[in-house]
């Protein structure tokens, strides 16, 4: 008898270890680790999604004739020991965990359990079977990585292997700001069934002090629902996804985004099938090339790139701090109680729902943290705890890498910083804010403005060496000595209040 251990983020419809010919001599084991649930004050909606999806997945396997052992334990090791004792299994098969630390723990399982443990590649990521080559001494940037992935998996290519439309990247067409005339169709919502309601009650009981609430939970938790969510996005939002993927709105939290990341991250959807479905929408005339290309770039470009880069940079990734930032995450990151309207609205939304779109994460939250000198590891921890699609493999390269550039420009190629002018252009957040986005210093000035210029002044020498930061640094010529002094003084006063 052998056991197949499936983790909560490995709920793939084509799980590589679930060979029907092995049903007679295999038992599937699922473990809800109470210790893991309490490791951080994780967003409650994330816990409900994970546990409900895993219970539904286990029930489906039972219906398919698999023998299933589903149990709760204080930790995974205890749960597996009890399982082995009860089942009589002599071997455990599992696929490699997505997160680095969990993968290290897997390698020690055999010694801890006293049995054979086989760890198979994680087939849920395309780069586990194919990864573009990175030449020694030369960094492989995202764009080249993305093009290699497009070629390998045959996406949006003509018969000669060239990009359809003549260009690989249509990012220049995808920078339209939010405006009131936009009328996005909200994503499908899924009413909790009996299993999900049970999970919601247990999460509130066992993790009462965790972030967020289970109330109003309406995410997909099964493969069938995940496919419905994918179709809903393709039919109703993909066409406008590209042009408005960087837009932000206080009244439209989703806009034209897919809301598929949590489903991809736990395996209910596969990255290649999602990319192929978007490609088919282009060929069917349902979505323009710039939208489809932009979406595919996020799925098989950026998502695969950060996973690949994460495993190359671990275990030291969490300690990177290129800008020597030492401030703690301010209290308002957990309450949203700040006069900065954009941050207040987004943080309150995150606390309530576990979600904000990618540009709000990058150009509001990370932008503020970088300009304010907040410790990268603390910011990373906040993201891990606050979002329903947060996992170490995706948060760390996005936050410590791209968002805070604390890796010195390995994941990204520059620090993504901006003043209030960018926020005012791309969103409606500045409306109703007590700060003026057009004022650089003084009591009416938006903190994003003086913090931005203060950062440029502080790191001018280093930023000049980055060719992509040239236009930003050149803007300093418009600040005379008096204005520079005001920017520094305003920044010091503001940062002292955090």
pLDDT digits (tens, 9 = 90+) for 161-175: 999 999 999 999 999
CATH code, 128-187+237-313? 1.25.40.80
Q: Give me the helix-helix angle, 44-63 and 194-206, nearest 10°.
A: 140
Spans of all domains in the chain: 2-124, 128-187+237-313, 331-496
Tokens standing for residue 233: 């996005």
Name the 3-class secondary structure at 305: helix
CA distances from 455 to 346, 417, 449 (A): 23, 9, 10
Spatial distance between the Cα atoms of 460 and 474, rounded to a whole number of angstroms? 10
- CATH 3.40.50.620 for domain 2-124, yes or no, is yes
**26-33: strand order across its sheet:** 67-73, 26-33, 2-5, 91-95, 116-120
Q: Which of 414, 270, 252, 416 is nearest to 346 (CA)?
A: 252
Spatial distance between the Cα atoms of 41 and 39, rounded to a whole number of angstroms? 7
In this chain, the answer to whether the domains covering 2-124 and 331-496 adopt an identical fold is: no
CATH code, 331-496? 1.10.579.10
Q: Which of 326, 356, 353 is nearest to 255 (CA)?
A: 356
- For the chain, give the percent of residues with pLDDT over 90: 96
432 pLDDT exceeds 90?
A: no
Spatial distance between the Cα atoms of 362 and 353, rounded to a whole number of angstroms? 18
* pLDDT for the residue 296: 98
Confidence grade of residue 471 (pLDDT, cut at 50, 70, 90) = confident
What are the beta bridge partners of residue 70?
30
* pLDDT for the residue 184: 97
Mode of pairing for the β-strands spanning 26-33 and 67-73: parallel
Q: pLDDT tens-digit profile of 53-71?
A: 999 999 999 999 999 999 9
pTM over 0.85: yes
DSSP 47-93: HHHHHHHHHHHHHHHHHTT-EEEEEEESSHHHHHHHHHHHH---EEE
Is the CB of residue 423 less than 8 Å from the CB of residue 437?
A: yes
Tokens standing for residue 123: 């087939």
């Amino acid at each position: 008898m052998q056991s197949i251990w499936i983790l909560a983020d490995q709920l793939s419809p084509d799980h590589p270890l679930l060979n029907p010919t092995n049903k007679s001599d295999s038992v599937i084991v699922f473990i809800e680790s109470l210790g893991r649930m309490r490791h951080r004050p994780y967003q409650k909606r994330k816990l409900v999604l994970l546990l409900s999806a895993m219970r539904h997945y286990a029930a489906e396997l039972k219906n398919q004739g698999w023998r299933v052992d589903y149990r709760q334990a204080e930790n995974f090791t205890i749960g597996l020991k009890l399982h082995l004792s009860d089942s009589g299994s002599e071997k455990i098969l599992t696929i490699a965990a997505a997160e680095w630390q969990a993968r290290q723990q897997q390698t020690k399982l055999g010694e801890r359990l006293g049995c054979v443990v086989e760890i198979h590649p994680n087939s849920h990521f395309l780069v586990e079977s194919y990864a573009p080559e990175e030449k020694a001494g030369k960094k492989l940037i995202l764009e080249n990585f993305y093009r290699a992935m497009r070629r390998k998996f045959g996406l949006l290519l003509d018969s000669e292997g060239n990009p359809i439309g003549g260009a690989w990247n249509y990012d220049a067409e995808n920078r339209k700001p939010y405006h009131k005339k936009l009328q996005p169709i909200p994503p499908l919502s899924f009413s909790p069934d009996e299993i999900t309601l049970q999970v919601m009650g247990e999460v509130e009981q066992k993790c009462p002090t965790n972030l967020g609430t289970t109330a109003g939970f309406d995410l997909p938790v099964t493969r069938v629902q995940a496919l419905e969510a994918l179709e809903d996005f393709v039919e109703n939002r993909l066409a406008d996804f590209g042009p408005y993927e960087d837009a932000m709105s206080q009244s439209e939290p989703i806009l034209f985004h897919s809301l598929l990341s949590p489903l991809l991250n736990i395996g209910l959807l596969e990255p290649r099938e999602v990319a192929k479905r978007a490609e088919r929408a282009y060929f069917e005339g349902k979505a323009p090339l710039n939208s489809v290309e932009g979406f595919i770039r996020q799925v098989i470009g950026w998502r695969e790139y950060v996973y690949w880069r994460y495993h190359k940079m671990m275990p030291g990734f969490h300690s990177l701090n290129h800008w020597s930032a030492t401030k703690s995450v301010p209290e308002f990151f957990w309450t949203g109680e700040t006069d900065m309207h954009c941050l207040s609205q987004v943080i309150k939304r995150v606390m309530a729902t576990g979600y904000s779109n990618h540009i709000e994460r990058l150009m509001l939250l990370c932008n503020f943290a970088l300009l304010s000198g907040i410790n990268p590891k603390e910011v990373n921890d906040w993201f891990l705890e606050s979002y329903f699609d947060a996992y170490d493999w995706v948060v760390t390269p996005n936050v410590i890498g791209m968002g805070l550039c604390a890796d010195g420009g390995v994941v990204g190629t520059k620090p993504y910083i901006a003043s209030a002018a960018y926020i005012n252009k791309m969103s409606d957040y500045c409306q109703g804010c007590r700060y003026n986005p057009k004022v650089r210093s003084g009591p009416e000035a938006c903190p994003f403005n003086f913090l931005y210029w203060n950062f440029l002044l502080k790191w001018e020498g280093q930023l000049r060496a980055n060719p992509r930061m040239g236009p930003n640094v050149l803007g300093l010529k418009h600040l005379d000595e008096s204005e520079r002094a005001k920017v520094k003084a305003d920044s010091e006063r503001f940062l002292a209040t955090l």
